[in-house]
Amino acid sequence: MNPANAASTILVLLSCHYFSGCASTPQISYQRDVHPIFQDKCIQCHTPPYGEGYKRSGLDMVSYDTLMEGSIYGPAIVPGNSKASPLNMLVEGRAGNLARVMRNMHTPITDREIEVLQLWVEQGAQNN
Amino acid sequence: MVLSVGQVSVWLIAIFLAAMKLYALFALVLVSRFSMAGELEALSVTESEGEYRLQIVSVLYAPADYVYRVITDYLHAYRLNPTITEVEILPSGRDQVVRVRNLSEQCVGPFCFSIDWVGDIEEPGDGNIKVETIPELSSFESGSAVWQIRPVGEHTRVYHESSLKPDFFIPPVIGNKLMKNKMQKDTLATFNRIECYAKIALEMEMENEPELIADILNEGKNCIKL
């Protein structure tokens, strides 16, 4: 690739990064896409006062507001940064075998659901 | 000497990454606040031939077994250092030795770079912890650390000494100063968080009542901000 072509490719990639015009990433909705995942996979344990996950961590996933309050160990979600969000780290298996423990407790979380959670956090973790 | 486009690109990328790393260090130092929850007895960072040595002695206001538990909770290392984005426990093949891999990420605006660290952590069970970096798997040429965790009544005296030689370029003089400031700031923040989480672990054990979680929740949120 000659330098001019390389420069134009970089410009196109950068513009795709900053302006979502050329990306086909879907807009994730908390109510439509994210809450059903939590409902199916997480809330049974992460419900106060007696849910096992809640008693261990203080993380209440029943509503958007309580989720965003975080756990006794700090925030569960870092809006805009799925890499640094503990919730994403856990479900993606980036914090050791904890993810396996969580997955074994109920129906395993699917790769598609992991991707939805990742996109939702990257898009700002909005209550939409 | 004639350089090809490819060689020029490699050099430009190397210079750009070095500049970004320096900028990241500078930005972190600008927002740093030096504070300590426990009693800080000593803290020093020195540099010699690219190797950084850090020593800290502090009394933390939490019991020693809880402090030990927090420090050795490797899977949750991201609670002590929020730049960690990945933790993995690997087989070490040795008794009393845990091999840990951490991936951390530093970002400046849209530009991010990753730092890989793999090390063997030895826990002889006497309140001492020895850490040895594995350079071939890490972003460091060398590195080691020791921890000594000793009870002082209901509190804990923690002695920590470590040395690290990064394998990425750090500009001399100003880069070294920024690096030393960042190490001091990060170490103090980590010690504050160790104390904070050790207190929370104690409270959770003593008062396992659901209605008390709300209070602890607020403390937890404060831990990560330290």
Query: What residue ranges do the domains of chain B occupy?
Result: 5-225
Q: How far is A74 from chain B (nearest CA, A)?
A: 4
Residue B29 is predicted with a pLDDT of 39
As its CATH architecture, domain B5-225 has 2-Layer Sandwich (3.30)
Interface contact A89-B88, CB threshold 8 A: no
Confidence of residue B125 (pLDDT cuts 50, 70, 90): confident
Confidence of residue A62 (pLDDT cuts 50, 70, 90): very high
- Say if residues A45 and A105 touch (Cβ distance below 8 Å): yes
Interface contact B213-A74, CB threshold 8 A: no
- Check whether B32 has a pLDDT greater than 50: no
**DSSP code of residue B139:** S
Query: What residue ranges do the domains of chain A occupy?
Result: 26-122
Q: How far is B58 from chain A (nearest CA, A)?
A: 22
- Give the tens place of pLDDT for each residue, A3-48: 555 454 444 444 444 444 455 788 999 999 999 999 988 998 899 9
| Amino acid type, B204 | M
* Mean pLDDT, all residues of chain B: 81
**Which helix (H) or strand (E) segment is A90 a member of?**
helix A86-91
Q: Residue holding tokens 């170490």?
A: B187
Mean pLDDT computed over B146-169? 93
CA dihedral for A21, A25, A26, A28, sign (positive or negative): negative
Cβ contacts of B75 on chain A, cutoff 8 Å: 95-98
Distance CA B193, CA B195 (A): 5
Torsions phi, psi of A66, nearest 5? -70, -35
Distance CA B31, CA A117 (A): 31
Distance CA A52, CA B87 (A): 24
- Say if residues B207 and B76 touch (Cβ distance below 8 Å): no
Interface contact A89-B223, CB threshold 8 A: no
**Which helix (H) or strand (E) segment is B145 a member of?**
strand B140-152
B153 touches chain A (CB under 8 A): no
Q: Which of residues 166-205 of B touch A (CB under 8 A)?
A: 197, 200, 204
Interface contact B221-A75, CB threshold 8 A: yes
Cβ contacts of A86 on chain B, cutoff 8 Å: 78-79
Residue in chain A nearest B82 by alpha carbon: A84
User: What one-character-per-residue DSSP string does B2-50 give?
Assistant: ---HHHHHHHHHHHHHHHHHHHHHHHHHHT-----SSEEEEEEEEEETT
Closest residue by Cα to residue A98 from B89, B101, B16: B89
Task: Give residues with Cβ within 8 angstroms of A86, minimum separation 6.
Answer: A71, A73, A74, A75, A76, A77, A95, B78, B79
- Give the tens place of pLDDT for each residue, B207-217: 656 667 777 77
**Which range is most confident: B77-81, B152-156, B175-179, B212-216?**
B152-156
Torsions phi, psi of B31, nearest 5? -95, 10
Residue A9 is predicted with a pLDDT of 46
- Give the tens place of pLDDT for each residue, A74-119: 899 999 999 999 999 988 888 876 555 565 456 778 899 999 999 9
Residue A115 is predicted with a pLDDT of 95
